Amino acid sequence: MRVVLLDDFHPVISDSLANWNWDILDGKNWSVEDFKKNASTLDGLIIRSSFSLDKKVLKLAKNLKFIGRPGSGLENIDLKYCKENNIEVFRSPEGNCDALAEHALGMLLALVNNIPKVNLEVRNGLWRREENRGFELMGKTMGIIGYGYMGKAFAQRLAGFGIRIIAYDKYISGFGNSIVEEVELNKIFEEANFVSLHTPLSEETTGLVDEKFIEKFKNPFFLINTARGKSVVLKDLVAALKSKKILGACLDVLEIETRDFRIEKTDNNFFYELTTFENVILSPHIAGWTYESKKKMGEVIINKIKQKFILKS
C-alpha cells in the first residue's frame, strides 16, 4: 500500500505504517497540484485540512482505498463520492474529545470569573474586586447542542459542578442518563443559561446561531463555540452582545476562518468589534489541540486502518 501523509502527524502513524511495510510519502508540504500529480499512485492518504478533497480531485486517485482524518470534521472531503467509490473514510473524534472538553470548560470558567480581564488589571496595578464579581455554574442550566463524542465529553467534565445539563441532537437519541437530560431544542431555548455548540459543519449548521436563533432564548445566556466558526454569525453575535441578550462568549472558532482553520488579514469589521468586548474570550482553534490528543488521534486512526486492512486481510 502506498500512503501519503499530508500534514505533520504524530510519529505513531508513520511508525505503524512502516511496521506494515507500506510505502510512505511525506506530503506535508504538498500543494493540491502536487497531490494531483501523484494521485493515481496512491492507495491511501492521511490529511487534516491541507486542501479540499472534492470529487474533481478524488477522481484522479483511481486506486484510493482509504482517507484517514485525525480529528473530527470531514467537511473538506466529498463523502458522497467516497461512498459511491468504496473509499473508506476514517476520523478520530475519540482522540481529541477529552482535550476539547477541557478547553471548553477552561474557557467557560475563565469567562464567568473574569480571569483574563483581572489578570491584566492586576498586572497594571488595578485591584478591582467588586467590579469583577463572577457567576457560579452551580444551579444554572447548560444547553448542549450536538451530543456526539465532543458534547458527551464536555457534559462529563461539567457533571461535578452542580450544573443541570440538557442536550439536543437531531441525529442521536436515547442518550439521557444521570448526567444529562435529553431534550428537544425548544427546551434549550426556554431554560438554558449557557449554550455550547458541538455540531459538525453542514448546510444545516452553517449560520445556525443568527439573529432569529438568538431571539428564541427566553433568558440571556453565555455562548460557547468549540465546533465550527461558520456556525455563528459574527454580525448577529456582536449585536446580541451589545443588547446583552448574550452575556458573554467563548469562541475557539470564528466565521472568518479559512478552510485550513487560519485567520489571515481580514476586513471583517465585526471581528474587530468582537475583540473589543471584555466578556469575550478567543482562542485560535486549539480546543482539542494538545500533545496528548495528537498522539491519541494518531492511535485511533491507525487502529481503524488496521482493523480494516491488516486484521481482515
- pLDDT range class, residue 72, cuts 50, 70, 90: confident
Q: What is the mean pLDDT of residues 101-124?
A: 98
- Classify strands 164-168 and 181-182 as parallel, antiparallel or unpaired: parallel
Q: How far is CA 127 from CA 43, 120, 122, 131, 208, in A?
A: 61, 10, 6, 10, 40
Write down the pLDDT at residue 268: 86
Per-residue pLDDT tens digits for 128-162: 999 999 999 999 999 999 999 999 999 999 999 99
Look-up of cell digits 432564548: 217
**Domains of the chain, each with CATH number or no CATH:** 2-91 (3.40.50.720), 95-282 (3.40.50.720)
Q: Which one-letter DSSP state was computed for residue 186?
A: H
Q: What is the mean pLDDT of residues 19-30?
A: 95
Q: Phi and psi dihedrals of 254, rounded to 5?
A: -135, 150
Write down the pLDDT at residue 260: 75
Q: How far is CA 245 from CA 122, 169, 179, 257, 304, in A?
A: 29, 24, 27, 25, 44
Q: Is the pLDDT of residue 227 over 60?
A: yes
Write down the pLDDT at residue 262: 81
Per-residue pLDDT tens digits for 259-306: 778 887 677 899 999 999 999 999 999 999 999 999 999 999 999 999
- pLDDT range class, residue 60, cuts 50, 70, 90: very high
Q: Is the pLDDT of residue 313 over 70?
A: no
Write down the pLDDT at residue 312: 72
Judge whether 112 and 166 are in contact, CB under 8 Å. no
Residues above pLDDT 70, as percent of the chain: 99
CA dist., res. 78 & res. 44, Å (int): 15
Q: What is the mean pLDDT of residues 14-21?
A: 97
Write down the pLDDT at residue 129: 97
- pLDDT range class, residue 50, cuts 50, 70, 90: confident
